[in-house]
Amino acid sequence: DGGITQSPKYLFRKEGQNVTLSCEQNLNHDAMYWYRQDPGQGLRLIYYSQIVNDFQKGDIAEGYSVSREKKESFPLTVTSAQKNPTAFYLCASSSGGHTEAFFGQGTRLTVV
């Protein structure tokens, strides 16, 4: 089945820790995106990548980092610099233009 897979579904982070969220797609899409969802704030763009080995900051990139070494993979690291990381994180991919983006099932990150 073609799709986009995020793991883990739930993740707990201690204060001062870095954690990495996985996102893999087998749709052969060039572009991949990371969004953060908080109640009442919709989806806010963290980072996006339009091609392998290239990525751009979104609206709320501070405290996050990404890599795009393979077309299929776009992991997101939440660093200790992110002061309020508790949120629902969504990864998406698309082939751009008029095509819709496909979303993973999300990772819920909680600071303990």
Residues that bind other proteins (CB under 8 A): 6, 30-31, 33, 35, 40-43, 45, 48, 50, 58, 88, 90, 92, 94-98, 100-106, 108
Query: In this structure, are strands 10-13 and 107-111 parallel, antiparallel, or unpaired?
Result: parallel
Q: Is there a contact between 75 and 68 (Cβ–Cβ < 8 Å)?
A: no
Q: Shortest approach of other proteins to residue 86 CB, angstroms?
A: 14
- Among residues 75 and 102, whose Cβ is nearest to other proteins? 102
Q: Is there a contact between 77 and 64 (Cβ–Cβ < 8 Å)?
A: yes
Q: Shortest approach of other proteins to residue 76 CB, angstroms?
A: 14
